[in-house]
Amino acid sequence: MSDSTQTVTDMVTHSKPSLIQKFASKYSIDADKLMVTLKHTAFRQSDGAEPTNEQMAALLVVADQFGLNPFTREIYAFPDRNKGIVPIIGVDGWSRIINTHSEYNGMEFSQSDNIIHIEGAMPCPEWIECVMYRKDREHPTRIKEYLDEVYQPPRGNYRGPWQTHTKRFLRHKAMIQCARIAFGFVGIYEQDEGERIINAQFEEVTTEQSTSTSDLNDQIKSANAKRKNGQVIDVEPDQKPVPPKSDTKASSGRGKSSKAKKAAESEVPAEDKANNGPSYAEIADKINKATNSDDIDVAIDLTNSIADLGQREELVRMAEEKLNVFCDPA
């Protein structure tokens, strides 16, 4: 037995005396061989690196706590940006911890009649609701998950599971989030959540990067230009899809949101007066008086004259709301 293997075994057995023996006995494998096998298989990171001794101990603690089998990928390791590891539980693992909970008493699913079309993905309900029952509670837990909030676009040219099995993955999301609320599962994640956590760690919060309003403007205009035949395409996971554009023109007085109305009536900030372009209040007024999507595009371009990033974001949101009115004048 190598020195490194001895060190791993000593560390785990010392910090958690019965943990490694418990796993070894459960899977009928030698304790030393178990640690080496897990490092090279289930807990091996995507970049080929092996987890540290401390990370191995943390992963085994989570696996033991929830009764998960690492050899069938019910739990696996996902590297974060700070050279740590996020314990990821696959959908089979979530199914196990739900079904083995002593108070679990069944679940049901329902879905929206409104079908969303995203280019490259399968047609999918706007939302799926999961209802979970507990033996010790009178009322069930109901959670809806909306496609526009959880959909993951393809990475490059690769069509991932969100494109090939859109409805199934939305159902998985609803089940997992409902289980969190119903049973209080904390500190464990599925892969989409793990990736979002890692990306959040990687992004630096700076003035230039925190908002990227110009990029958002481009995405909105691009999505609006490409919408056709009842399809909504180029939808980012954190943006609300805009319904397909209707040929019916909206009147200038229709669709004013309370937020947009408040913005249009607000006093012009001093910093806006110093800019060469129109002020916040002037752009908000243009959005409110817009009669078609071209007017909205012009207003979005004008938001670049606003120095305050928060106000620019607000104007873009107002523009999106007005676009919804043109798309669904009823």
More confident residue, 37 or 201: 37
Q: What is the pLDDT of residues 226-267, one digit of tens each?
A: 544 444 444 444 444 444 444 433 333 344 444 444 444 444
Mean pLDDT is lowest, of 97-101, 127-131, 155-159, 212-216, for 212-216
Q: What is the pLDDT of residues 171-185, one digit of tens each?
A: 999 999 999 999 998
Residue 109 neighbours by CB under 8 Å, 6+ apart: 128, 129, 130, 131, 171, 174, 175
Taking the model in full, what pTM does it have?
0.54
Q: What is the pLDDT of residue 126?
A: 96
Tell me which H or E stretch contains 131.
strand 127-134
Question: Residue 86 phi/psi, 5° resolution?
Answer: -100, 120
Closest CA to 173 of 100, 118, 124, 136: 124
Per-residue DSSP letters for 71-129? Answer: GGTSEEEEE-TTS-EEEEE-HHHHHHHHHTSTTEEEEEEEE-SPEE--TTS--EESEEE
Long-range contacts of residues 150-155, Cβ cutoff 8 Å, at least 24 apart: 150/192, 150/237, 151/118, 151/121, 151/235, 151/237, 152/192, 152/237, 153/235, 153/236, 153/237, 154/120
Which of 54-58, 75-79, 139-143, 158-162 has the highest mean predicted lDDT (pLDDT)?
139-143
What b/e sequence results for 284-321 when a residue is b if at least 16 CB atoms lie within 10 Å of its CB, and e otherwise?
bbbbbebeebebbbebbebbebbeeeebbebbbbbbbb
More confident residue, 317 or 206: 317
Q: Please provide the average confidence, as pLDDT, over all residues in the chain.
A: 73
281 contacts 308 by C-beta, under 8 angstroms:
no
Q: What is the pLDDT of residues 274-305, one digit of tens each?
A: 445 788 788 888 888 877 777 777 777 787 77
Closest CA to 136 of 108, 103, 107: 103
Question: Residue 191 phi/psi, 5° resolution?
Answer: -65, -40
SS3 311: helix
More confident residue, 200 or 78: 78
